[in-house]
Amino acid sequence: MTMTRMRAVVPVICLVFLITGCETTNSGQKTVIGGLGGAAAGGLLAAAVGGGGTGIAAGTILGGLVGGAIGNRMDAADRREAQRAAMQAFDTAPSGHSVAWRNPDSGNSGTITPTRTYQMANGQYCREFQQTVTIGGETQQAFGRACRQPSGSWQIVS
Amino acid sequence: MSRCVLLFVVAMLIITSAVYGQQQSPAGQQAIWDNADKNKDGFIDRIEFLEVMTDAFFFVDADKDGYLTLVEIRRIVGTMDPKQFEDADRDKNGKLDIYEYESAISKDFDAADTNGDGKITVEEFKLLRQGAK
C-alpha cells in the first residue's frame, strides 16, 4: 500500500470505528426528556451497590437496638459491636446487604441488614432494617426502623 | 512509515477495547443486576428500579441534606449533561428533591424499557449501563 493510499484509508478506518462506537452506545435507547439520562441512570444504579464510599460517617446510634430477653443477655461489649455494625450498615450498606458483628470474648454475633430506604416528608432519611442476634447458639430475628437525625446520628424509631 | 501508522491504529484499537472491557466488567454488572433484581425473577420492574434508585439517592447525597445537586451526581457518575439536570429540576432551585428525582428516574426507566413491557431485561440493562462511565 502506498503512502498516499494509507493517508486516505486511516481516517476512514478511524471514522468507521468512531461511528460504530456511537451506534453501540445509543442503539435501542429511546429518547427521554426530563430524565437524568442513560449515563447518569446507569451510574446511579452502580452507586446503589457501592454506596459505602459515598456517605458521610455518622455519629453514634441513639436508642437500643435489641430488646427483650435476648437483648438482656447481651453484655456491654456485644452492644457496642452491634451498634458499630448498625452505624456502618445504615450509613453505607445498600438495601439487602448485611453488616455482621461478632464479639470474640462472648462468642455472640449478629447481623444488621437495611431492607428499604426512604425519605419522610421533611426530607429526613429513614431505613428499615432486619437484625439477627445469636447468643449461645440461639438466634433471634427482629425488624426495626432507624431515622437519621440532623446531627448525623441514627435513632431507632420502631 | 506506513507500518508505523498501522501499528498506531492497532494499538489504539487494543487500548480502546481494554478500556471498554473494564467498563463492562461482568462481575460489576452482575453485582448491579443482582442488587436491583430483588425478587430474582430475571427482570427489573419499575418498583425494584425505584427502590434501588432511592438507595442511590441516599448514598449520592453526600451532605445528607435531602437534595441532590449536579455536583453530587457528577461526583458519582462522572459527567452529566446540565440540561438534563435542569429539566429534572422542576422548581428551578438548583437541586433535586426526592420527588423530582423519582420522576426523572422513572422517565429513565421508560427509556431503558425499549420494548415497553414494564420490565428491564438483561439486554435492556446492558444498553442502559453502556451509557454509564
| ipTM (interface pTM) | 0.72
- For β-strands A61-62 and A154-156, DSSP reports them as parallel
Please name the residues in contact with A74: beta carbons below 8 A apart, sequence gap of 6 or more: A66, A82, A108, A133, A135
Number of C-beta neighbours around residue B121 at 10 A? 16
Question: Which has more pLDDT, A40 or A114?
Answer: A114
- Put residue B116 in one of left, alpha, beta given phi > 0 → left and psi -120 to 50 → alpha: left
Instruction: Give the tens place of pLDDT for each residue, B14-44.
Output: 444 444 444 444 448 898 999 899 899 999 9
A24 grid coordinates: 453501540
Mark yes or no for CB contact B104/A36 under 8 Å: yes
Q: What is the pLDDT of residue A73?
A: 80
Cβ atoms of B57 and B95 within 8 Å: the answer is: no
Q: Give the Cβ contact number of residue B8 at 10 Å.
A: 11
pTM as predicted: 0.72
CB contact under 8 Å between A45 and B52, yes or no, is yes
Most confident of A21-30, A49-58, A122-131, B3-12: A122-131
Q: CA A48 to CA A45: how far, in whole Å?
A: 5
- The chain A residue lying nearest B89, using CA atoms, is A34
**Which of the pair, A10 or A157, is modelled with greater confidence?**
A157
| DSSP character at residue A42 | H
Cell of B26: 461482568
Contact: A47, B104; criterion CB under 8 Å:
no
Residues of B in contact with A15 (CB under 8 A): none
Break chain A into its structural domains and give their ranges: 58-156
All domains in chain B, ordered by first residue: 26-130 (1.10.238.10)
Average of pLDDT values for A107-121? 94
Checking if the pLDDT of A118 tops 50, the result is: yes
